[in-house]
Amino acid sequence: MIKKLYIILIFLIILFSCKKNEVSSILYTNNISIYNNQTNDNPLLIPPLLENKSKNSNEVHYELTVQKGEYEFVKGTKVITYGYNGNYLGPTIRAKKNQKVKIKIANKLREYTTVHWHGLLVPGEVDGGPHQIINPDGEWNPEFIIIQPAATAWYHPHGIGNTAIQVYKGLAGLFIIDDEVSENLNLPKDYGVDDIPLVIQDKRLTSDGVPLYLTNMNDIMEGMKGNTILVNGVVNPYLDVATMKYRFRLLNGSNARTYNFRLSNREEFYQIAADAGFLEKPVNLQELRLSPGERAEIIIDFSKNKKGNIIYLESGNFEIIKFRVNKIVKDNLIIPEKLTEIEWLKMRDSNQFRNFRLEGMGPHVSINGKIYDMNRIDEVMNLNNTEIWTLTSTNGGMMGMMRSSSGMLHNFHAHGIHFQILERNGKEVPENEKGWKDTVLIEENEKVKIITRFLYKGLFMYHCHVLEHEDNGMMGQFVVE
């Protein structure tokens, strides 16, 4: 109780002091715009595909160096960033189902890091969570076999207390999995040409392009939200498109911001994949919500446009990326009606029920009343077992105080498993969430039921993917044995 009053007091003091100093000052705003209106458009960059060093088609060999870099978010201002094999973000890794993946990772930072494969089903000891530390000048050589269907996954650091800042500095990359289904479907699949990755992040940049981190109370309570959107590291990005259908692989790689994607012309688009694989059939959407860590593959149809048309992918009242229609072509692609077949887990196969209660905000976050402890196992599961979990989220009644801000949400992500959502507040799940997932948004006071099965042994994490919450201990560990 005293703690809560204390936080409210600090919050009020900061609120008043920032009112005085002009709320619009960059330090205090979580609203997008300062930058997005001022700079010129920049062409979208596409993360390069990482070169596979293996000659054997059953294996892929990759090399990653975690390094410090210099990057210009805004022309003329070089700032210190982190990247994998480069200055900011990382190359896209690709592997096929049943292939063996060998990755050699060298840490050239002056601090420790880890590399976690978010969305990959791999054994605990190669998962890259907080237990697989790579020290400065150290190396890590995980090997695993891809056992899951085609999907857009990603990789990022997962240390204790340094995940959020390392991701903010630039450590994140895509991991695309292919299989027979994805190869045979008639979908755009030319990487960087009509199959475009979009890593969406936000950063707080000063007017000359220097990133700031945790500068106000909202950042501390809700997680770091910036004033500028970056797509693949580019501020004010544009992409020239022809009058045809494009596939976009969306990753919300932001520390804390949730997006509600839609098109500026209010046309529908089609979601074809959720976090961990294809939906059974494409879902027409006007709006798509993605919380931190979630992915979606969508098809946008530009075929009915005229040359010169401009369409934005937007969220709320800000733009994410500008599409400039600059070429007329004949569009022959018909989106397949059926994408894949999903094995639906059955409630009657589950004999184990668990609850995960996400609670609090800022420095006082917990799951089931506990904060993360590396030396404590919170849950024990049996290999191949099916379980039903109920996820809930509450803010401990403090939300009213924070209404002035852009809102705070928790989500839930687990390592080592994929899950299916059974219901949201007792109601049916939206069509576009009927697929394999590994991260799910939980609204305040919502009850989300998921079903999952354990395919690998080992130690795994579950946590809120608002990275500042994760770093503050909104995380637990389970062992599959």
Q: How far is the CB of 251 from ligand C2O (least distance, A)?
A: 10
Among 94, 96, 97, 116, binds ligand C2O (CB under 6 A): 116
Whole-angstrom distance, CA of residue 95 vs CA of residue 360: 39
Among 216, 469, 473, 476, binds Cu ion (CB under 5 A): 469
Whole-angstrom distance, CA of residue 162 vs CA of residue 164: 6
Q: Cα-flanking dihedrals φ and ψ of residue 241, to 5°?
A: -125, 155
Whole-angstrom distance, CA of residue 219 vs CA of residue 430: 30
Toward Cu ion, which CB reaches closer, 131 or 281?
131
Toward ligand C2O, which CB reaches closer, 322 or 413?
413
Tell whether residue 118 is a contact of ligand C2O (CB under 6 A): yes
Tell whether residue 418 is a contact of Cu ion (CB under 5 A): no
Among 94, 413, 418, 424, binds ligand C2O (CB under 6 A): 413
Among 121, 187, 464, 480, binds Cu ion (CB under 5 A): 464
Which of the choices ligand C2O, Cu ion, none does residue 204 contact, using the CB cut-off of 5 to 8 A by kind? Answer: none
Q: By CB under 5 A, how many residues form the interface with Cu ion?
A: 6
Chain residues 272-331 in contact with ligand C2O, contact rule CB under 6 A: 293
Chain residues 197-226 in contact with Cu ion, contact rule CB under 5 A: none
Q: How far is the CB of 152 from Cu ion (least distance, A)?
A: 14
Tell whether residue 410 is a contact of ligand C2O (CB under 6 A): no
Which of the choices Cu ion, ligand C2O, none does residue 158 contact, using the CB cut-off of 5 to 8 A by kind? Answer: ligand C2O
Q: How far is the CB of 413 from ligand C2O (least distance, A)?
A: 5
Tell whether residue 257 is a contact of ligand C2O (CB under 6 A): no
Tell whether residue 463 is a contact of ligand C2O (CB under 6 A): yes
Which of the choices ligand C2O, Cu ion, none does residue 245 contact, using the CB cut-off of 5 to 8 A by kind? Answer: none
Whole-angstrom distance, CA of residue 85 vs CA of residue 459: 29
DSSP 3-state of 303: coil
Tell whether residue 415 is a contact of ligand C2O (CB under 6 A): yes
Q: How far is the CB of 408 from ligand C2O (least distance, A)?
A: 19
State the Rg of the chain over Cα.
22
CB–CB of 282/431 below 8 Å? no
The DSSP bridge partners found for residue 251 are 199, 295
Cα–Cα separations (whole angstroms), residue 82 to 69, 167, 169: 5, 8, 5
As a whole number of angstroms, the longest Cα–Cα distance in the chain is 66
Toward ligand C2O, which CB reaches closer, 449 or 465?
465
Which of the choices Cu ion, ligand C2O, none does residue 464 contact, using the CB cut-off of 5 to 8 A by kind? Answer: Cu ion
Among 96, 158, 245, 295, binds ligand C2O (CB under 6 A): 158
DSSP 3-state of 44: coil
Chain residues 115-134 in contact with Cu ion, contact rule CB under 5 A: 118
Residue partners of 233: CB distance under 8 A and separation at least 6: 45, 71, 73, 88, 89, 170, 199, 201
DSSP 3-state of 376: coil
The DSSP bridge partners found for residue 303 are none
Beta strands in 9-150 (DSSP E): 42-43, 59-74, 77-84, 93-96, 100-107, 116-118, 139-140, 143-145
Toward Cu ion, which CB reaches closer, 4 or 78?
4
Whole-angstrom distance, CA of residue 400 vs CA of residue 364: 16
Tell whether residue 204 is a contact of ligand C2O (CB under 6 A): no
37: which 2 tokens? 């209106």
Toward Cu ion, which CB reaches closer, 97 or 410?
410
Residue partners of 335: CB distance under 8 A and separation at least 6: 187, 245, 270, 272, 282, 299
Which of the choices Cu ion, ligand C2O, none does residue 417 contact, using the CB cut-off of 5 to 8 A by kind? Answer: none
Tell whether residue 156 is a contact of ligand C2O (CB under 6 A): yes
Instruction: List contacts with Cu ion (CB under 5 A).
Output: 118, 410, 415, 464, 466, 469
Instruction: List contacts with ligand C2O (CB under 6 A).
Output: 116, 118, 156, 158, 293, 413, 415, 461, 463, 465
